[in-house]
Amino acid sequence: MAAPVRAALMITCLGDMFFPEVGVAMVRLLRGLGVEVDFPEGQTCCGMPLFNSGYHHDAALIAARTVKLFERAEHVVVPSGSCAWMVKTEYPGLLKHDPALRAAAESLARRTRELSQFLVEVLGVSRVDSKFEGKVTYHDSCHLLRGLGESTAPRALLRGVPGVELVELPGADQCCGFGGSFSVRLPEVSSAILDKKLANVEATGARCLVACDAGCLMQMGGGLTRRGSAVKAVHLAQVLAGEVSR
């Protein structure tokens, strides 16, 4: 029998502090698929907020630390397209001045995957043993869609869940208005973008809005509860682990 796949969880700062239930769902989901899950405890954040705001020297320090922390992991799984993008696309460039670190960053980039991509590409999963009842709709997170080029894996996985009826979200590929610090630098603009997104979401008649990024879920979920909507914003892992209550 082949050795089990071993994966380290990169929980992300938002995932750790605000959405621990997503991490828990991920652990159950992965273990259910026979993956040995590890959690390197020294992790904090990928540094993307610093990087995106132009604090590159600072982001490089975080990147160097993260690269070392995950040095021994066979696979690194991230429940957030943007953080996965940061590690995969930006770490090598940030650490380019130190050849050893750069090589380590390139290695980490190769071993790191966003959850849906890990499930489909590494584990070859097409359907998981879960259940759900009703309509869901899916929002393409910008970094997962345009940064990592992924739009099919999350949809395929959702369709594979017995009981899920996936309704396409009009303008699914349009930004939700989060954008990290953008959401507080220009809160009115960010909220105006969100309003259009949520109007589309509510028009689908879905009971759950699924995404693969803690940032988008914070933005869209925060908007949905504020307007007293019946639609619930959930992470893909929660649907796949069967942890979305009715």
Residues that bind another protein (CB under 8 A): 11, 13, 15-21, 23-24, 27, 39, 41-45, 47, 49-56, 58, 61-62, 65, 142-143, 146-147, 173-175, 177-194, 218-219, 221-223, 225-226
The rounded Cα 93 to chain-centroid distance in angstroms is 22
Short-list 211, 72, 217, 56, CA closest to 138: 211
Task: Confirm if 94 and 60 have CB atoms less than 8 A apart.
Answer: yes
Token duo for residue 65? 């630390």
State in angstroms the smallest separation of the CB of 72 from another protein: 17
How far from 116 is each of 69, 146, 178, 204, CA to CA, in Å? 23, 15, 21, 23
Give the whole-angstrom CA distance, residue 212 versus residue 80. Answer: 6
State in angstroms the smallest separation of the CB of 165 from another protein: 26
State in angstroms the smallest separation of the CB of 68 from another protein: 12
User: Which residue, 85 or 164, has its beta carbon nearer to another protein?
Assistant: 85
User: Which residue, 50 or 211, has its beta carbon nearer to another protein?
Assistant: 50
User: Which residue, 125 or 145, has its beta carbon nearer to another protein?
Assistant: 145
User: Which residue, 86 or 158, has its beta carbon nearer to another protein?
Assistant: 86
How far from 93 is each of 22, 51, 99, CA to CA, in Å? 30, 11, 11
State in angstroms the smallest separation of the CB of 207 from another protein: 19
Alpha carbon distance, N-terminus to C-terminus of the chain: 38
User: Which residue, 69 or 128, has its beta carbon nearer to another protein?
Assistant: 69
State in angstroms the smallest separation of the CB of 12 from another protein: 9
